[in-house]
Chains A and B, each alone.
Chain A
Amino acid sequence: MLFRAEITVKLKDGMLDPEATTITKALKHLGFECRSLKQASVFELEFEADSRQNATEVAQGMCQRLLANPIIHDYSVVLE
């Protein structure tokens, strides 16, 4: 079966995010005040799997083995 997954990888809460700080400042220059700002990487994938459960496991495997670094990242998987 073909599955579509959306994987989001973002920095763990409390991790310093220098890019987000810079973006927040740039928004401020444009008149937008943000109390907080987080950025994340989103991966949209299509792949074959035997079942929904299998597809979830495959996507989580991708995160654990490559897409996320467990020291600094949290990730979430949404299957369509």
Chain B
Amino acid sequence: MLMKIAILRFGGSNCDLDVQKALNNLGVHAELVWYKEVLEGFDGAIIPGGFSYGDYLRAGAIAARTKIMQSVQEMAADGKPVLGICNGAQILSESNLVPGTFTLNQYPKFICKWVKLLKIGRSPFTSLSSEVVKLPIAHKEGRYVVPPRLLKELYENDQVVFKYVDDKGCPTSAANPNGSQDNIAAISNLEKNVLAMMPHPERASEKRLGSLDGNAVFESMIRYIKSL
């Protein structure tokens, strides 16, 4: 059967069309699903970036409590891949689908820049990715925070997926754009089928955008779906 991936849309979502184009470029059918619609018959879901509900209260807080997110919870429980990008990552953390939370940057300003990321451990979203990738970030609330006792567990369970690194691939404080704990840029659930990442892979999915590294995230996700 033809693979079908859902791209969720809330009021204030953006880069949804970019994600769709990136998937289409890889030959995959992706449908935009408005949050009031029914999420059914999809092999995976992607929550794109943006500023859902104006980032009121906390980024992602309102969207995380919408009905469609219950369907996303069910998809995740069924083992289907769920990817949250930027605001999507914030929505996943606010939904408790991944541990920890993304909050105001250490320097409390919107940052938009290219970063280098080191792939950590094994994830269905990075199986085809190089060790070090170049992707853009664009956020104000991207500082990853997790209680210290949980941080140890995240490493033991292989849930840290990307870290901000310098040109040599070292997770230095200078390479940490937002003050994230342990330079963490992407985190997964215990079962690994849910990934919350602050960088934007869809903004690095065509040569003219400056990097093709983002495609590996989508390609890995597609490969994972085929393996199910």
Set of chain A residues within 8 Å of B103, measured between Cβ atoms: 72
Q: Which of B57, B61, B106 contacts A18 (CB 8 A)?
A: B106
The answer to whether residues A65 and B179 also contact, given A18-B106, A72-B103 and a CB cut-off of 8 A, is no
Nearest-neighbor residue (CB-CB) of B146 within chain A: A71
Q: How many residues in B have their beta carbons less than 8 Å from beta carbons of A?
A: 18
* Docked pose: A71 CA to B99 CA in angstroms: 9
Q: Chain B residues with Cβ under 8 A from A72's Cβ?
A: 101, 103, 145
Contacts of B61 in A (CB 8 A): 66, 69
B64's nearest neighbour on chain A, judged by CB, is A66
The interface size bin for chain A is 10 to 19
Knowing A18-B107, A66-B57, A66-B61, say if A71 contacts B101 (CB, 8 Å): yes
B interface with A by C-beta (< 8 Å):
57-58, 61, 65, 94, 100-101, 103-108, 143, 145-147, 179
A residues bordering B, Cβ < 8 Å?
A: 15-16, 18-19, 22, 65-67, 69, 71-72
Listed by A's residue number, 16 A-B pairs whose Cβ atoms lie within 8 Å are A16-B106, A18-B104, A18-B106, A18-B179, A19-B104, A22-B108, A65-B65, A66-B57, A66-B61, A69-B58, A69-B61, A69-B94, A71-B100, A71-B101, A71-B145, A72-B103
